[in-house]
Each structure stands twice: as structure tokens, then as C-alpha cells.
Structure 1
């Protein structure tokens, strides 16, 4: 019994602030009613005997009725005078605490949304400008997994302190797990960039070397809408896209929306994000395999495994799914689900074929653990690492400093490497010498543009020449017409006769199927090129 109050206190403190206030007010009213009632009862008892002795009517009911009315009337003001003011202050404090982040002491996402709407409304009314900065801790999941959650919390607290120690006009918020927001009032984009550069230096020192990525978007007073709610959504989406670009370019970057305004992709829809959440929760993922042909011998030497979300999720393409996963910070999880779906369908994979398996560059940022996990997954599916070609996209170049060592480790484990979409951006060619891939997959746009000569032919010539010198095999993607195929073969032979051979894949040579190797009669689909 003596321990009951100790259990009751925490129970009350866990109640919502409004309910705690109403309970306290109820207790105060009941207490005052009982107190005043007791006094009146005592007075009534003393006077009742005298009144009854004189033969008058009993005044007791009238005394109780008036006492109850007086008690209710006096309860609230008396409670305020005797401590209600502190109770009201406590309620205000409770409301204040509801908008605070318990770990960092910064305002939370509820306060951020209100602040953003208020600042937009103020700017629309009085003019001027302000900038929104969205800040994300780089590789925070890796820090949590490798160094522990306590270290992760220390990093978040250090970043919050760096944010709080900045300019007095800025307002900092923690809006997610490792995502922070900074409303930079009365500040244009150029001034915001300088302030963020200073913040990055302070944060780097306080966070023990952990870096941050920042996306900036300036509020334009000539907005597309006069509703602060709409404008806050647009502004936050712009800053979010700038932050995503900063992550995509390799982290530890500051990107403004102005830099990417013309090339920024369409906003990932809420429906896509919801669909990705459902996909990761229910894990209904299928797989298909597209044959890759040796264009010299007309034989299939490999299959690319392609993960396919179930139609119920209504995801338009794998790019949509990974765009949504990036917004959720769950690219690693989606990539693991895709690999699992592909590897679960290779029990009868032909022993003389290679499996081309796509790999998101983010996976490699986990160092040695990523390679060991991949090896375990592949061997559990019944394949040796030497029969698996890991495809890296050209965007690996943007985080090359983080993935270079893991790439070498994958090669040491026996995996073969392919560089995907080479030529679709300038960085693709620069990666060839650094990664030294076994296979170079040429982007379809390069092959198509090479027909017209000029830069397209120069890019294709550089790729084929590299392959001839290094021993890598060139694979052309997206072959959909015989014209493209004929041009590719003739161009490759003209450029260099030392290349081992040229591979090709595309709808012309075979669409993705569940188990295309199950057809023992599969032959070269183009009789005219035998």
C-alpha cells in the first residue's frame, strides 16, 4: 500500500496535458465544495437545535442548498487564488513541452509546421524573404548500427547544440529521426549559404567528424498561392529535393533549389511513398530475368535479374520505388528486398550462365559488412560469387570516396563487377579507370546517338577502346530495333578488333521473363543475322 502513490504519480504524468489539467481542476472544485460544505454543516448543526426548540421549520435543507451554490461559485476563484495560477502555469508549461523534442531540446515537427506557416504569412504581408534549410546527418543508420544508439544520440545532441549556437534570427527544429530544419528569417539564399557553411564547420567539430548534408530553398514572396499552408508544402518540398540532391552527389554537400530548379525531378507523390511503405511491410516482390547475348556467337551468357513489385502497389517503375525509398531513408532495405526476390528464383539457374544483380551504391557504404552479407545471400541461393556480376550505376562516382574500398573487397570475394549506364553522364567514363569493371554496360542513348556521329560516336569509341585495352566486355542495353543492333556491331568492330566480344540485351533480343532459361530450344531471335 505504501508504494501505491509512487505508481500513481508516473501514471498521472503520462496523461495528456489537457486531461491532467481537467483532473486537477475537478479535484480542486470537489475539495473546495467539501471544505465549504463542512463549514456550513457545522454552522447548520449549531443553529438547528435553537431553531427547532422555538418550533420553527427546519432550515437545514436551505443551508445545504445555499452552501452548495456558494461552494461552486467560490471553487474556481479560490482555487486560482490558492494555487490555481500555478496550475494554469503548469498547463501552459505542459503545452510548451508538447512541442519540444525530448532528446535535443529543440522544437519538434509540430512547432516547425506552425512556425513555417507563420513566417510565410508574415513575409507575404510585410515583404522580405527567408530561407528554409533541411539538414540530414550523413550515414546516420550506419553510425547507429556500428557504434550504437548512444553514440547516435550524442551526435544528434551535438548537432542541435551547433544549430542553437548559430545566429539569433534562426529557428532550429528536429523534424525527424536524423533530420533537422532551420528557418532562417530575414535571410536571402546567398546569406543562407554563407551561414550554413559556418554551421557545417562548427557541426563537423562538435560531431566528431560526422558530416551533414543540407538542402536550401528561399521563399519567394510572389508565390503561386496565397495560402500559407500550400506555400509551406511547396517550400518544404523544394528544400527536400535540394537535400536529396546533396545526398545523391555524395553527401557532405550544400545544395540550393535554385541550382537544380530546371533539372529537378517531379516530386515523389504521397501515394508513391505510401506504396513503398506497404511494399517494405508486406514484401510482395517478384522477379524477372532478361537474357544477355554474345553478339558474336549468338549465345546467351548471362541474365539480368530484375525485381518487380506486385501490381497491387501501383508503382510505375523501379525508379519510382527507389525514389520513394530515398524519401523514407530506406534505400538499403528496398535494395535488400529486391536482391532477395531475385535470388529466390535461381534454384535451377543454368550452370554456364552469369547472374547480373543490381546493387544500390548506398549498400556499399557499410564497408566490409556489405560484402560479407552479399556473399552469404548469394551462397544461400546456391550460387558462387564468381557466377554473380554486381551492377553498379554511374552514380557510384558521386560517393566514390566511400565505396572504392568496398568495391575492391567485393572483387577479392570473387564477385565480378559491371558498371551500368556508362555514357549517360560525364562521370560514367571517369569511373572506368577507377573501378576497372569486368563488364561495361553502355547506355541506350549512347548507342542511338552514335548512329549520327559526333559526340555520341566519340563516347562509344572511348568505351570500346577502354574495353579492348582492359579486357572488359561491352554490353549494349536497350536494343529494340535491328537498326540499332547492326550499327552497334559494325561500330564496335570498326573501332577496335581487339575487344573480346560485344554483348547485348533489349526487347529485340528477349523480354524479361520469370525463367527464360527453362526453354531448351531458345535460339538467336534474328535469323537475318546468323
Structure 2
């Protein structure tokens, strides 16, 4: 509205009015000025329209005005054309001093010289109008500036919002183009921010956003900070570290600054996040391209460790393009049954015979090749089709495993539940209904959940898991030893099994502390009456360590890779009868 009022004021003035910045560039001209000069003047200076002699006269008068004086001068503005121009100092929206010019009278002569006998312009009645106009213009510009500031500011944090950040980005690109100095754009995304809102309330969440914003603004060399999403920040910074070592050191310092504990009331909140960085002009040539490529780097970082920071490179672009292809092809692959179940045995540590199988999934696409589960499962979760994928795999798996259960080749089938499903209302009833339709008893099923499923909505997770367990389904906490490793979850949730993450199993041969930790987890499971399962067992040494720790169930390539139904039928056929406790080792046919 302020911009509209300003235009209305200027266009109703019966004089040609213009505004210049301190570099002599025109930044505004009203309708009368445009009629006199033409439309192509914004951003240009006098040199673009007038000769050198005229420019020297104009700029001599401009200099007086920039110094705080007023000017009234007769100026030649074209062949046989003269203007009597009043110029006064004028504060621009960015706080710098420009000038406001008004062409009071315009004279055209046939001789090419101004007739000195032309009566002097009577300014007696004009000066009050000039003063009033200047005041109204400055007020309108202040209102406009305030409106822009409000439109560009995030209400929750006082930082720039997306529009404001994009404006700052455009300005910084212009500065970089003029000075030749590169700059960086970083996108920072907080981990598990929704959990903070859900557990501690939106007031705590708002406090986290404000504190993180303040900390970012206090970092030396930061030019602008914006909040451009719910828990996503954008940072424009001018300093670029050239070596990998220098960058890594700086990132570690930033991590320590940004992610210090935050106190919301009497609660101490631990915060973490990931960052993606893009450099101008090396990685992008426009603001939108910078944002896009920083987002690609952020996506890559979020797939890594907590507070991983990724700088955009060609590999990032390739990975992002592959991700887009997966997103596009995944829904159709689920509908067509292209993603198929495979099965990995879980064996007894004492007999080395299969006691169950875990249902996994594989996808091979003619364009993408073999798509890893890490790729398509995370994508399915992000685009909201993980439930459809789980149900499709469930249906086929129940058909495949029924014979193994009936023949006594296994005691249970282990299925993975998505975090989204675990907290969904009605999930337990729907799961039990599908089991009944498949003709599988609940006491032959183990449902594996991730700890992240629990922390998102503890009460809903407990309710669903409790109903399933009451019906006979075993509940296993998967990948324990990574992520939160929350001991409270082991006490609060209705659990039967604890699966030790493969990253710990792989470390026991090299690090005594890891072995001690695994032994402690097995003992913890025993104390809580939970069956422990060691994942990722690949060597006889790992198996011996795990068995020595007293872990009752093992899973890994040492025994069998994930197989199709037909291949696993062949594997079962290789299992000769073995006495309980014989410890006879069976080799995989792969």
C-alpha cells in the first residue's frame, strides 16, 4: 500500500520529479519526468543520456546537494531545451543520502540558447509546496521501507524470512560480481525439531528457533541469516576457507557454537542438525540456483551423521538427480510389484540352525540398476508411500513364508514396521486383520521397530505395540546402539527382543571397548528378559565373540545373505539335522 501511495503522490504533482542515489543513478521518476526523458532511465546515470559537458554541470550541482546544500540551476537537457531544476538532499530507504529533483520550468528555444530576458521563476509560492512534497515523500518512503521490512521478516525469530533472504542473496551476488569476492550460502536443518514441539510444547520450540537464530547472527563474517522453513535456516557468509582441513576445523567450531544446550524454562534441550553449503560463483550463478544446490548438499548431509556438513560438488548433483529419479519411479514400482521380498535367516547361536527369517526388500530398475534399501526406503518415507510399500511386501512375504512355518523350518517371521505406521491410529487392528487374512498366527510374527518410531509419539506407539503384543506378536527394537539408545524406551515399551546394530558387531574385533559395550547390551537384555539378536555377523571371530557374550540369536552374511524364496528353499535343504547345542556350522550356498 505504501508503494501505491508513493506513486499516486508523485504522479499527481504537476512537475517532473526524479530521485537519484549517491552514485547519480536515477531510482525514480514520476509520470511527468518519464514523458520528458523517456522510460529507459532507471538504474542509469546522466552519462547514459547526456553529453560530457552537460554531465559535468549536473554532477557539480549534485555534489552540492549530496553535501547537504540545496540547488537551483538552469540546465541544458537536450538540443535547444533547457530546464530550471530544484534539487534538495533526500534520505533513501537504505539510509544513504540521495537527492530529490523537481524540474520547475521547461524551456525550448529555436536559437539553442536560453533567452536571458526570460523572467526569473517566482519561487515564492513554490517553496512551501516543495517542502510539503519532500516531507510527504520521505514519510511515504519510510512507510514503504517499514512495509518491506515486515514483509521480509520472520515473525517468530526476527530473522529474514524466505523473501528477505532471497533479496539479501540478490544483493550479495551483485556485490560479489563487483568485487570479485566469493561468498557461501549454507542451509542448516535441525534434527528432530518436531519431537521438541511434541514433547515440550511450541513455546520450547520457538525458544530453540530464536536461540539458534541469535547464535547464527553472532558468528563473525555472517552477512545475513534467514529462517526459510519450519526448522531450516539459511546463512550468507563472506568468508571461505580454502582447504579441507580449514573447513573441517571451522565446521567443528560452528557446531560447538550453534549446538550448545538450550534452556527452555527449566529444561535443558540437546540440539543437533545438518548443513549443506554452496559457493558463489563456483557452484551457481543465480540466487535460485544457489538455494537449490545448497539444498542438494543438505540432503546429502542429512543422510550422514549428526551435524554432518556437505559442500556441494558434482557427486552431490549426481546423487540428487538419482534421488529425483527414485522419487519418480518408486510409486509405479510399488504398484507393479517390482520391489520384491527377500529373506535372511536368523540362527540360534547354539545350533547355528534357522529359528526365523527377516523379511527385507530388493528393487532392480532397468534405468537405475540395483537400488539399495537405504535409498528407496528413506525415499518412500519422505514421499509418504512407505505404508504402501510395507503392505505390498507384507502380502508377498506372508504367501512365501507360510510353508516354512507349517513345515517347522522356522519359528517366526520378522517384519519391519515404518515409524509412520507405528504411531498411526488403528495400525494394530489393521496389522492383525491382515495377518488373519493371510492365515498366519500372530505368535509366529516378530515386528521390528526403530527407536525413532517411539520418540516421535510415545503414547501412540505404546498403544499400538501393546495391542499387538497382547495378540501374540513379538516386538523387537531394531538397530539398538545407534541413534538415541534410550534406556527409558527399554523400560516403557512392550518389548521382547533387542537387536544389536551391525556397526557394533563389526567393531568388536578391533576395539575392546566396543566388545565390552556389546557384552553389556546382552547382559542388559537378559536383565530385562529380552532376547538379544546380533545383526551383521560376517566373520567366525565376530560369531565367537558374540556367542561368548551369551547372545542367543545371530544374523548376517556368515550364515546366509538375503535370498529369494527359491534360493532360501535350497539353503534350507542344506541344513542337516543337528543336535541341540552341537554348534554345527552351516555354510551359505552364496
| Distance change >3 Å, CA 165–CA 202, structure 1 → 2 | farther
CA distance, structure 2, for counterparts of residue 375 and residue 474 of structure 1 = 24
Q: Which residue of 1 aligns with 2:272?
A: 213
Correspondences of 1:420-459 after superposition (within 5 Å):
425-426=506-507, 431=518, 433-434=520-521, 436=525, 438=531, 440=533, 442-443=535-536, 456-459=539-542
TM-score (norm: length of structure 1)? 0.57
Q: Which residue of 2 aligns with 1:392?
A: 478
CA distance, structure 2, for counterparts of residue 352 and residue 205 of structure 1 = 45
Return the match for 1:97 from 143, 150, 153.
150
Give the drift of 1:383.
Answer: 2.1
8 Å contact kept, 2:501–2:534: yes
Correspondences of 1:484-503 after superposition (within 5 Å):
485=571, 497=581
| Distance change >3 Å, CA 367–CA 215, structure 1 → 2 | closer
Deviations 1:26-49 (A, max 9, x none): 6998999xxxxxxxxxxxxxxxxx
C-alpha RMSD of the superposition: 5.7
Task: Name stretches of at least 5 consecutive residues in structure 2 with no aligned partner.
Answer: 15-128, 242-246, 387-417, 509-513
Return the match for 1:86 from 135, 139, 144.
139
Give the drift of 1:173.
Answer: 1.4
Give the drift of 1:186.
Answer: 1.4
Q: Which residue of 2 aligns with 1:511?
A: none
Does residue 472 of the first structure (1) align with residue 553 of the second (2)?
Answer: yes
Does residue 235 of the first structure (1) align with residue 294 of the second (2)?
Answer: yes
SS of 1:183's equivalent?
strand
Q: Which residue of 1 aligns with 2:489?
A: 406
Correspondences of 1:14-33 after superposition (within 5 Å):
17=1, 21-22=3-4
8 Å contact kept, 2:423–2:460: no
Comparing 185-194 with 265-274, which one deviates more in the overlay?
A: 265-274
Correspondences of 1:6-21 after superposition (within 5 Å):
17=1, 21=3
CA distance, structure 1, for counterparts of residue 180 and residue 279 of structure 2 = 10
8 Å contact kept, 1:389–1:416: yes
Does residue 223 of the first structure (1) align with residue 282 of the second (2)?
Answer: yes
CA distance, structure 2, for counterparts of residue 265 and residue 487 of structure 1 = 43
SS of 1:106's equivalent?
coil
Give the drift of 1:97.
Answer: 1.7
Q: Which residue of 2 aligns with 1:347?
A: 436
Correspondences of 1:54-93 after superposition (within 5 Å):
80-81=133-134, 83-93=136-146
TM-score (norm: length of structure 2)? 0.52
Return the match for 2:497 from 416, 423, 446.
416
| Distance change >3 Å, CA 262–CA 27, structure 1 → 2 | closer
CA distance, structure 1, for counterparts of residue 487 and residue 139 of structure 2 = 61
Comparing 147-156 with 129-138, which one deviates more in the overlay?
A: 129-138
CA distance, structure 1, for counterparts of residue 574 and residue 456 of structure 2 = 38
Does residue 110 of the first structure (1) align with residue 199 of the second (2)?
Answer: no
8 Å contact kept, 1:173–1:182: yes
Q: Which residue of 1 aligns with 2:447?
A: 357
CA distance, structure 1, for counterparts of residue 427 and residue 309 of structure 2 = 34
| Distance change >3 Å, CA 124–CA 231, structure 1 → 2 | farther
Q: Which residue of 2 aligns with 1:156?
A: 209
Does residue 269 of the first structure (1) align with residue 328 of the second (2)?
Answer: no
| Distance change >3 Å, CA 417–CA 203, structure 1 → 2 | closer
8 Å contact kept, 1:389–1:415: yes
Q: Which residue of 2 aligns with 1:323?
A: 378
8 Å contact kept, 1:133–1:181: yes
Does residue 193 of the first structure (1) align with residue 251 of the second (2)?
Answer: yes
CA distance, structure 1, for counterparts of residue 182 and residue 138 of structure 2 = 40
CA distance, structure 2, for counterparts of residue 142 and residue 106 of structure 1 = 23
**Structure richer in helix, relative to its length:** 1
8 Å contact kept, 1:217–1:235: yes
CA distance, structure 2, for counterparts of residue 227 and residue 433 of structure 1 = 54
Task: Name stretches of at least 5 consecutive residues in structure 1 with no aligned partner.
Answer: 1-16, 33-75, 248-253, 448-455, 509-530
**Structure richer in strand, relative to its length:** 2
Give the drift of 1:178.
Answer: 1.8
Return the match for 1:204 from 258, 262, 279.
262
| Distance change >3 Å, CA 463–CA 263, structure 1 → 2 | farther
SS of 1:245's equivalent?
coil
| Distance change >3 Å, CA 82–CA 169, structure 1 → 2 | closer
CA distance, structure 2, for counterparts of residue 344 and residue 78 of structure 1 = 82
